[in-house]
C-alpha cells in the first residue's frame, strides 16, 4: 500500500499523454469518475475497467466517504488518480490542500478558476519546487458543464456568454501557472486559440451519440471532442450505466481514435 512517506513508490506523476501507466490501455484518453458511495464499489469498477482507462477520477462523493484510502486503493491497482475536489478557498488554504494532494501521489488535482489569480498562483506555487515527475498536474475548472448562459448571468452577474467566460478563465489559469483546464468540449477551440497547443484540456460533458445528456448542457461525442483537441475525456454514466461497462469503455476508446 502506498503511504505519504513513500510517494516516490506510488503511481508516477506521469506528465505526458503519451506515457500511460502499465495497467491501462496505452492509447486511452478516458478518465473514469468513481462517483460511487463506497470503496468496495469503486475498487470493483476500477479493476474491471483498468485496461481501458488513462486514469480514474475521485470526486467529492467517494473522497468524503472514504478519504485518502480511496486514492491508495487505486494506486494499488496501478491506476493514476485525478483528485477532483475543485478547491475554492483563500490562497493559503488551497495551497495547503494542493500540497496534501501531492503527498498522496495523485496524478492530477483541480481548483476552481473563479477563485481568482492569487488563489490559482498559490496552488501552482505549492508544488512548483518539485520536479515534474514528483508533482501533480494542477488544472482549473472553468464553467461547469451543467451551466448555461442564463445560469452564469444570473449567478455570476457577468455579461459574458459561457464561451467568453471559459476563454477568460482559461487565460487567467494559464497566467497563474497552472497546467490546464477543465472545460466542455464546445469550448476546446476557443481555449486552444487563447492558450496554445501545450495547454492541457480535460473534457467532461462527453456523450456517445446514442446516450442521454442527463444534467450536461454542453456536450459532444467522444470522437468530436478528441478531433476538437481535447487531451483527456471524463466519461462516467455512458460507461457505468451500460449493460456491459467494459465493452462500452472499449467502444468509446475506439471512437476516440477514429480519424
Q: Kindly report the CATH number assigned to the domain that includes residue 164.
A: 3.20.20.70
Of the listed ranges 33-42, 92-101, 141-150, the least confidently predicted one is 141-150
C-alpha closest to that of 166 among 104, 217, 223: 217
| 120: pLDDT strictly greater than 60 | yes
| 7: pLDDT strictly greater than 60 | no
pLDDT tens string 8-46: 334 445 544 334 443 344 589 999 999 999 999 999 999
In angstroms, rounded to a whole number, what is the distance separating the alpha carbons of residues 34 and 256? Answer: 21
Considering the candidates 47, 86, 153, 171, report the single residue annotated as catalytic: 86
> pTM here?
0.87
In angstroms, rounded to a whole number, what is the distance separating the alpha carbons of residues 39 and 199? Answer: 33
Asked if residue 2 lies in contact with residue 10, where contact means CB atoms within 8 angstroms, the answer is yes
Q: What is the pLDDT of residue 219?
A: 64
- Band (pLDDT 50/70/90 cuts) for residue 165 is very high
pLDDT tens string 174-194: 999 999 999 988 899 999 999
pLDDT tens string 36-66: 999 999 999 999 999 999 999 999 999 999 9
Sign of the torsion formed by the C-alpha atoms of 128, 90, 179 and 51 = positive
**Residue-number span of the structural domain to which 193 is assigned:** 4-256
- How many folded domains does the chain comprise? 1
- 57 in active site: no
What are the beta bridge partners of residue 30?
Answer: 233
Asked if residue 232 lies in contact with residue 255, where contact means CB atoms within 8 angstroms, the answer is no
pLDDT tens string 205-251: 787 755 544 444 456 889 999 999 999 999 999 999 999 999 999 99
- Residue 141 Cα distances to 115, 138, 182, 243, angstroms: 10, 10, 5, 31
Q: What is the pLDDT of residue 13?
A: 52
Amino acid at each position: 500500500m502506498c503511504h505519504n512517506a513513500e510517494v516516490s513508490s506510488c503511481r508516477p506523476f506521469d506528465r505526458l499523454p503519451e506515457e500511460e501507466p502499465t495497467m491501462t490501455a496505452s492509447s486511452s484518453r478516458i478518465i473514469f469518475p468513481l462517483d460511487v458511495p463506497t470503496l468496495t464499489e469503486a475498487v470493483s469498477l476500477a479493476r474491471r475497467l483498468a485496461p481501458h482507462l488513462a486514469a480514474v477520477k475521485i470526486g467529492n462523493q467517494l473522497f468524503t466517504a472514504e478519504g485518502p484510502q480511496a486514492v491508495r486503493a487505486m494506486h494499488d491497482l496501478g491506476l493514476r488518480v485525478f483528485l477532483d475536489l475543485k478547491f475554492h478557498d483563500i490562497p493559503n488554504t488551497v495551497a495547503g490542500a494542493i500540497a496534501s494532494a501531492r503527498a498522496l501521489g495523485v496524478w492530477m488535482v483541480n481548483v476552481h478558476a473563479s477563485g481568482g489569480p492569487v488563489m490559482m498562483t498559490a496552488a501552482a506555487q505549492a508544488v512548483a519546487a518539485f520536479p515534474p515527475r514528483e508533482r501533480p498536474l494542477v488544472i482549473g475548472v472553468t464553467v461547469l458543464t451543467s451551466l448555461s448562459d442564463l445560469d452564469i448571468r444570473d449567478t455570476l452577474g457577468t455579461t459574458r456568454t459561457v464561451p467568453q467566460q471559459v476563454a477568460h478563465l482559461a487565460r487567467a489559469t494559464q497566467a497563474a501557472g497552472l497546467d490546464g483546464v477543465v472545460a466542455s468540449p464546445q469550448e476546446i477551440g476557443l481555449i486552444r486559440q487563447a492558450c496554445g497547443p501545450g495547454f492541457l484540456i480535460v473534457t467532461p460533458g462527453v456523450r456517445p451519440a446514442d446516450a442521454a445528456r442527463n444534467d450536461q448542457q454542453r456536450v459532444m461525442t467522444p470522437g468530436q471532442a478528441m478531433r476538437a483537441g481535447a487531451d483527456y475525456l471524463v466519461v462516467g454514466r455512458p460507461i457505468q450505466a451500460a449493460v456491459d461497462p467494459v465493452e462500452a469503455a472499449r467502444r468509446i476508446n475506439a471512437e476516440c481514435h477514429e480519424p
